[in-house]
Amino acid sequence: MAKESGLGWTTLSVDTSAPVLTDIKNDVTNFEFATPRAVQETTGVDKFAIERLLLLADFSITLNGVFNDASSHLVFKDVANTSVTRTVSLAVSGQTLAVECLLTDYAMTRADSGELTWSVPGVLQDGTAPAWS
């Protein structure tokens, strides 16, 4: 398989609180996500290097975008007053990652140039290790 760019992202969808999975990739300008694993150090006093065990998996994401009251705003407008799990679905190059998340903020910025942008962080909710399919 050849190396690829991150251009042409095919899926970037997030549930509304209803839940209705909504495509917001046109409003998202950039995002970052991570799938880290916790580790436990298990080094005995007989070792000269660190021993570790892999522990629980996790997921976090931060979406950044441009305000659009017909799309992304409908998805995020009630983050502050609802406590629901939301599916976040990402796909690129035929690879899909769908994760059940809690969205923890809907921060908006009105820049001095007039831009109206938002940022939404999310974290793993359901204890299911994230896995690409």
- In order of their start, the domains of the chain are 11-42+51-124 (2.30.110.20)
- Decide: helix, strand or coil at residue 91: strand
| 79, 50 Cβ separation under 8 angstroms | no
Residue type, 15: D
Other CB atoms within a 10 A radius of the CB of residue 43 amount to 11
| 133 residues of the chain, pLDDT tens digit each | 688 888 888 999 999 999 999 999 999 999 999 999 999 999 999 999 999 999 999 999 999 999 999 999 999 999 999 999 999 999 999 999 999 999 999 999 999 999 999 999 999 999 999 999 9
Q: What is the DSSP letter of 79?
A: G
Q: What is the DSSP letter of 16?
A: -
| 97, 89 Cβ separation under 8 angstroms | yes
Q: To 10 degrees, the CA torsion angle through 25, 99, 105, 7?
A: -30
Mean pLDDT of the chain: 96
Q: To 10 degrees, the CA torsion angle through 116, 106, 15, 77?
A: -70
